[in-house]
Amino acid sequence: MHLFSTIRHVAVAFVAAFSLGALSACGPSSPDQSAYIFSTSTPDISMDGAPNVDVRIMRDGVQIADAVIFETRFDMEPEGMEAMTATVTAQGSPDPGTYRFAVKPTMAGRWRLSLGAKIQGEADTVRGSVIVMAR
Ligand SMILES: [Cu+2]
């Protein structure tokens, strides 16, 4: 289980790195990642239980309500600990355009929630992340 989880994380990291490379090369088939803004209304979360992180995805000032989130990763990259990951579980949408995730930070500090989504009109996966502070 742990090994599988590690392999999956490595795979996700590789895909992310590849996407960045494609982006800097301005490949014609890569989606316009920079057009999508990922933000959170829950920048501060508790160390207790499984707090919610709410993420909003916007493009051109419009909330994206039809995203299908199929990749999630919660890690301590903002503190230089990218290898430290913790549980993240999708909780659906509390309102259209907001995506909720229950997380279990194992250490106080800044955590990054990275998402990969299928969005209508985009052939490729759209990726983004938000940073929250666990106290
Ligand atoms: Cu850590």
* SS3 track for 12-58: HHHHHHHHHHHHHCCCCCCCCHHHEEEEECCCEECCCCCCEEEEEEE
Which pLDDT value is given to residue 9? 43
- Return the residue matching tokens 């919610």: 52
Distance 110 CA to ligand 1 centre (A): 8
How many helices (H) and strands (E) in the chain?
Answer: 1, 10
- Residues 6+ away with beta carbon under 8 Å from 22: 30
Q: For 36-94, what is each residue's pLDDT tens digit?
A: 999 999 999 999 999 999 999 999 999 999 999 999 999 999 999 999 999 999 999 99
Domains of the chain as residue ranges with CATH? 2-134 (2.60.40.1220)
* Side chain identity at residue 42, one-letter code: T
Distance 31 CA to ligand 1 centre (A): 32
